Each structure stands twice: as C-alpha cells, then as structure tokens.
Amino acid sequence: MLRKLLFRQAPRAYRFLSTQSTLPLLSKCSVFSYCSSSRPEIPPSNSIEHLEDQPTNTISIDRSGLCSPPEHSHEPSSDSELVKHLKGIIKFRGGPISVAEYMEEVLTNPKAGFYINRDVFGAEGDFITSPEVSQMFGEMVGVWAMCLWEQMGQPKRVNLVELGPGRGTLMADLLRGASKFKNFTESLHIHMVECSPALQKLQHQSLKCMDEENTSEGVDKRSLSTLAGTPVSWHATLEQVPFGLPTIIIAHEFYDALPVHQFQRGSRGWCEKMIDVTEDSSFHFVLSPQPTPATLYLMKRCKWAVPKEVEKLNQIEVCPKAMDLTSTLAKRIGVDGGGALIIDYGLNGVVLDSLQAIRKHKFVNILDNPGSADLSAYVDFASIKHSAEEASDDVSVHGPITQSQFLGSLGINFRVEALLQNCTDEQAEALRTGYWRLVGDGEAPFWEGPEEQVPIGMGTRYMAMAIVNKKQGIPIPFQ
C-alpha cells in the first residue's frame, strides 16, 4: 500500500514556492537590571467645584484645580494598541511581566495578536513552514498517520487532530495523498485546533470544505472536505475535541510557539527574566527579585537533567505549557489509543536562551514593535519525553530523530522520483529545491540562482518525536 501511495501520480496543481532560505537561528545577548520598587504615583483626579448661584441664575465653574495637559498631548500616541495593552498590564500590576506572558499576548491577544487576524505564512508572510515548501511533507505525514492507523487495527472511526494548522496546507496534502485509500479516509473525522478566525477561513478554503447546516456535536463549526469526503470540525482548544475515539494528533511547528519562561543564574540563585517599562516608556528586561510561580517548572526541569549539566549553566528556558500539553496528550492517548507526532526545531536536552523574533523572513529584536513579528523558541524534546512518561504508564515515547531520517524512512526519495517523471523543468526545479529544504543540511550544492536565495536544508535542524499507546507497538519509522 505504501508503494502505491508513494508512486501515485502527482496532483495537477503544483505549489510554486519561494526560494527564500530559512535563516539560521541567532544567539542573542541581553542586558539585565534589577527591577526597581519605586514607581511613579498616579495623581488623584481633580474634582469640579460649583460656586454659589448668582442672581442671574448662571453657573460659573472654577477650572483652576484642573490639570493642564502637557504640550502636544492632543496628538495621537505612536504606540500600537498591543503596546498600550502590555504597558497597561505592567502599570496595573505595579511591576514587570514574565517573558511567557509577553510572548502569549504578542502571539494570541484576541484583538492584536500576531496569529489572530492575518496570514503570516509563506513567501508573502513572515516565515515559511515545511508544508509550504513542498506537497511531499504533508504526504509523508499522511503515510505516517496511515501506518499508525494500521497498527491500531484499522478502527472504523478515528479522530485526526492537527494543532495550529496554519493555512491548512499540511492537512490538505495529507488528504489528497490518502484519498485513494477509502478505508482510511472514511474512518477519519478531522479536528482543526485553531484560535485564529482568519486562519480558520484559510483552512476552510484549503480543505475545500462545504458547510453542513446541522451539527449534532455542538462544535463551533462542522464541514465536509471535498478532498476526501471527510468531516472537519474546528475548535479553539484541544480539550474541545471529543473523547472516546482513537486519536491521531499532529503537532507541526506548534510547540515552538508556546510561551517560555527564561531564568538566569544570579548571586541569589535562579532569577526569572521579566519585562518592564523604562522611564522613556520602552520595554526592557529585568530580573525578578523573588521566586516566581514558574520556578516550580524550573525545578522539575532541573530534576530531569543531569546535575553536572545544570551546574554549568547560567541560563535555562522552560515551557510549562509544553509540559502540560504533553501531559494532556499522553493521558488521552493512554485511555483512547492512538498517537501524537511532534515535528519542530529544538534540542534533545536543556534549552538555554533561544527565544527569537522573525519579521518578513528576517530576525529582529524581541521587544521591537510587539505584535509585528513572530516569536518562537527551541522545543525541549527531552522535557516532552519526561512529561509524557510521567503522565501515563500506557504510552511510550520514541525519538527524537532528525526530520531527514523521518522523511527518508517514510519514502520521500521514492516520492520525489515519481513526481519528477511527470513535471515540467520549472516544476522539477521547485521539487528539487523543496526536497533539499526538507531533508538537506546547510546550503543546497546544486543551486545556480542568486546567492541570497540559496535553499537552506532543514533536515537536521528539525526533529520528530512520537508518543503512542503501548498496545500498538513501535510506530514507523522509529523502529
């Protein structure tokens, strides 16, 4: 069945790709100061006093007590709504906020979050993900899902969940690639976990959905994808996806956007890095004077690490939401069966200081114009593994392996050869470029175009990990 899928004729519509390269991650250096406890007092509001009525029954108002506005205060502020919101939080609390809270507001604020109201993916957006590079990525993920479904005993009903589906490109390519395997596609109910209304619309279009008039499950939206005749539902959170069915979960470049807490070792031990506002009203980093709630997750992460490794570190990054999400995934898979595939860039160990901001394919300062750039951080795969194993005795964790190993073992080499037999020269160039970016390492050796556009391989910088129910054995290709 795998060879039938890999050598199937390519779809008529090819995706023509940007050749912009993915830049290597940059190391960052920040200057810290201790947060001051002295903050400006908010002046009391001035009351308006009415004088005694005059015989003419006119009213005079004494305005001498009113504050005179500073010069030019009538002009609009240059701060964006999100910046005003962040400064408002800091002012209201009388102190700084964590890097994690800043990151969460910047990315998912309901009104001005980076992901909420626009399309940020692709050559015209701020960054390009693997599904946007080539249709082969989604097809290979489909092969993995189908193989896991077979290991599960080919159940008649399965939840196929994607976390943070972007434009829906991965799921669309998965369904196209698997559309001829009716037993598989007819068992699926697709669940897209997406909080952005703008991206939900794009996903609806990518999956070529037709809306159903009636919904029996009470979800926000239910449609039918005409790509494979598969029902599709949208949810704001994973918890809204119905329980009770075997579940296959795909998390591609999802974990890297979860908010991280950063800690720095100081004279008084580990201190959390926070974000405050300076006297000139700009953002800057400070260190917390006291332990914070996230310190509990730092202690847990240090417990999982080798003691000698932690002793040498001056900075550590932890992601409580990644730990909690993994725990939720593992418990669901342990009870309902199925598995989760996590593909992202990261490390199989403690992460130091990896938070980065990308705007229009270029790295920018993390604190520069919040909401205008994507924020992401390395994924701590070792932390994911420990979180899953602690959450459920009924799951096993496999990997991480490199993206190159993952895609290569699933047959991407055969797939690209099959596609090259039925395409134009221009399509062939796009396929070779996309193939290199998915599995290659460093700059593509065959590139003859502009030097600044040379494709950069993601094959070793991205990693894949699987969490599966133990009853199903070891998933492909982690044997």
Average confidence (pLDDT) over 105-118: 79
* Closest alpha carbon to 107 in 239, 318, 258: 258
Q: Which run of H or E residues covers position 299? A: helix 295-304
CATH topology of domain 130-212+222-259+317-446+453-472: Rossmann fold (3.40.50)
Confidence of residue 452 (pLDDT cuts 50, 70, 90): confident
Task: Please tell me the distance from the alpha carbon of residue 100 to that of residue 97, in angstroms, as a whole number.
Answer: 8
Q: What is the residue-averaged pLDDT of the chain?
A: 83
Statement: residue 53 has pLDDT above 70: no
First vs last C-alpha separation in the chain: 19
pLDDT tens per residue, range 201-233? 999 999 999 987 655 554 556 799 999 999 999
According to DSSP, residue 241 is labeled S
**Residue 88: Cβ-neighbour burial (10 angstroms; 0-12, 13-18, 19+):** exposed
Query: For 331-438, where are the E strands, in sequence order?
Result: 338-347, 356-359, 362-364, 374-376, 379-380, 395-402
CA distances from 149 to 156, 181, 473, 476 (A): 10, 12, 12, 11
What are the structural domain ranges in the chain? 130-212+222-259+317-446+453-472
Q: Tell me the pLDDT band of 109, cut-offs 50, 70 and 90.
A: confident
Residue type, 302: C
| Long-range pairs, 437-441, Cβ under 8 A, ≥24 | 437/22, 437/130, 437/133, 437/134, 438/130, 438/133, 438/134, 438/136, 438/137, 438/403, 438/404, 438/407, 438/412, 439/403, 439/404, 439/407, 439/408, 439/412, 440/404, 441/404
Candidates 17, 9, 91, 114; CA nearest to 437 is 17
Confidence band, pLDDT 50/70/90 cuts, at residue 467: very high
* pLDDT tens by residue, 248-274: 999 999 999 999 999 999 888 999 999
* Mean pLDDT, residues 13-35: 34
Measured at the alpha carbon of residue 442, what is the angle toward residues 440 and 444, in degrees to the nearest 5?
65
How is residue 27 written in tokens?
């190391």
**When comparing pLDDT for 316 and 68, which is higher?**
316
Q: What percent of the chain has pLDDT over 70?
A: 79
Neighbours of 171 (CB within 10 A): 27
